[in-house]
């Protein structure tokens, strides 16, 4: 799949995914060792996007299993197509007499019927769900098990056989082994602690918020129309906001949403008015928005734009008053 760590980085970059040596090394080892990768970190740092980009970089199909509370084997592995089974039963109803004709008593009739069970629980009636689909694929795919921390611990236990041996057991059919083992990416937002048994079966990758340089590179790739000066100003602003005590810090996705919003608005710089009118793009909670405006309002009071270093002559006290008045107005 990949000949070197550098090739991993180059091919991910071709998918507009910015990686570092650590990430590329884990991906390279996973593909060479045939090990799943558990990617942990806060929401919006590129965990899911890594799986999508990896599939594109490797030229493989992406199969996604979205986890949630109550997820069970039936939704993750397989189901029986009951409507088709019922239709098949109705068609064969007229033939049941002929099937049971050799039976001399009820016991023999029951035995004959038991022998027909395989007809109804065969692959003809099997509906593949993501895990079984990945196992039975003729070519290796990328299987994304997204937000595993949302699933129950019982589902984690079910995954252990699959993650260890790339096989699962189906009572009616037997053991299904992978035709071409998939590359498995599990993601977790760390809403709960995962079991040690699951962690032991995976390579581990911790993703956090990117450095300023990396985030600037991402903005340049994903929002090329923003302009160099404004992109630098925006990234500096986001990096500073993440230092605040927020309920939810802006993710990379929200950085890009803000950048693209500024492009749509034909913005040239981050003026105070523009920040106040677009803060909801990156703030998902009212209290967070207030904290961001307080933080950015200080800078906006001292300078006309966040990226400006020399004073403009604006009266700081008047600017601060106007900022608080505007914030109070928006809060109501």
How do residues 236-293 score in pLDDT, each as one tens digit?
Answer: 999 999 999 999 999 999 999 999 999 999 999 999 899 999 999 999 999 999 999 9
Q: How confident is the model at residue 114 (pLDDT cuts 50, 70, 90)?
A: low
Q: Does residue 210 register a pLDDT over 70?
A: yes
Q: How confident is the model at residue 93 (pLDDT cuts 50, 70, 90)?
A: low
**Edge-to-edge, what's the strand order for the sheet holding 62-66?**
62-66, 142-146, 183-188, 37-40, 203-206
Q: Name the residue with higher pLDDT: 124 or 115.
A: 124
Residue with tokens 């309920």: 247
What does the pLDDT average to over 59-83? 89
If we measure between CA atoms, which residue out of 74, 81, 78, 76 comes closest to residue 124? Answer: 81
- Of 328, 71, 59, give the one whose Cα is nearest residue 183: 59
pLDDT for 37 equals: 98
CB 139, CB 180: distance < 8 Å: yes
pLDDT for the residue numbered 297 = 80
Q: Residue 83 above 70 pLDDT?
A: no
Q: Is residue 321 over pLDDT 60?
A: no
Q: Are 67 and 143 in contact, with CB atoms under 8 Å apart?
A: no
Alpha carbon of 205 to those of 30, 38, 51, 187, 208: distances in Å? 11, 6, 13, 10, 10
Torsion over CA: 56, 160, 181, 151 (sign): negative
Q: Would you say residue 221 has pLDDT above 80?
A: yes
Q: How confident is the model at residue 121 (pLDDT cuts 50, 70, 90)?
A: low
Residue 326 has pLDDT above 80, yes or no: no
- For tokens 């252990």, what's the residue? 160
pLDDT band at 94 (very low <50, low <70, confident <90, very high): low
Residue 45 pLDDT more than 70?
A: yes
Complete domains list, the chain, with CATH: 5-72+130-206 (3.40.50.300), 78-125 (no CATH), 212-331 (no CATH)
Give the model's pLDDT for residue 235: 97
Residue 323 clears pLDDT 80, i.e. is over it: no
pLDDT category of residue 73 using cuts at 50, 70 and 90: confident
What confidence tier does 79 reach under pLDDT thresholds 50, 70, 90?
Answer: confident
Q: Check pLDDT > 60 for residue 303.
A: no
Question: pLDDT value at position 64?
Answer: 98
| pLDDT for res 108 | 63
pLDDT top residue among 55 and 78: 55
Residue 122 confidence (pLDDT): 60
The phi and psi torsions of 129 (rounded to 5 degrees) equal -105, 175
pLDDT for residue 99 is more than 60? yes
- Count of C-beta atoms within a 10 Å radius of residue 165: 13
**The pLDDT value given to residue 55:** 98
Q: Running DSSP on this structure, what letter comes out for residue 269? A: S
φ/ψ of 291, rounded to 5, equals -65, -40
Average pLDDT (154-171) is 91
Q: Is the pLDDT of residue 301 over 60?
A: no
């Amino acid at each position: 799949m990949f000949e070197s760590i550098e090739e991993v980085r180059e091919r991910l970059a071709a998918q507009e995914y910015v990686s570092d040596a650590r990430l590329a090394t884990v991906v390279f080892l996973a593909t060479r060792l045939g090990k799943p990768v558990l990617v942990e970190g806060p929401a919006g740092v590129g965990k899911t996007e890594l799986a999508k980009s990896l599939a594109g970089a490797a030229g493989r199909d992406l199969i996604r299993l979205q986890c949630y509370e109550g997820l069970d084997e039936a939704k993750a592995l397989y189901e029986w197509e009951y409507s088709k089974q019922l239709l098949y039963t109705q068609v064969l109803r007229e033939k049941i007499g002929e099937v049971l004709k050799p039976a001399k008593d009820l016991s023999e009739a029951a035995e004959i019927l038991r022998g027909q069970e395989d007809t109804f629980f065969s692959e003809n009636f099997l509906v593949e769900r993501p895990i079984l689909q990945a196992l039975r694929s003729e070519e290796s795919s990328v299987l994304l098990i997204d937000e595993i921390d949302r699933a129950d611990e019982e589902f984690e236990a079910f995954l252990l056989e699959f993650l260890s041996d790339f096989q699962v057991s189906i009572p009616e059919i037997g053991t299904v082994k992978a035709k071409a083992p998939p590359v498995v990416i599990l993601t977790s937002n760390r809403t709960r602690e995962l079991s040690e048994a699951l962690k032991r079966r995976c390579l581990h990758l911790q993703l956090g918020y990117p450095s300023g340089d990396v985030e600037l590179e991402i903005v340049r790739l994903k929002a090329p129309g923003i302009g160099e000066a404004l992109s630098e100003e925006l990234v500096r602003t986001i990096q500073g906001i993440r230092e605040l005590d927020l309920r939810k810090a802006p993710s990379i996705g929200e950085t890009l949403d803000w950048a693209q919003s500024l492009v749509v608005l034909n913005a040239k710089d981050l003026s105070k008015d523009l920040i106040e009118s677009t803060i909801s793009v990156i703030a998902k909670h009212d209290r967070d928005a207030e904290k961001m405006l307080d933080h950015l309002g200080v800078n906006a009071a001292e300078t006309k734009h966040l990226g400006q270093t020399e004073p403009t002559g604006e009266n700081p006290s008047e600017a601060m008053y106007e900022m608080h008045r505007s914030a109070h107005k928006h809060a109501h």
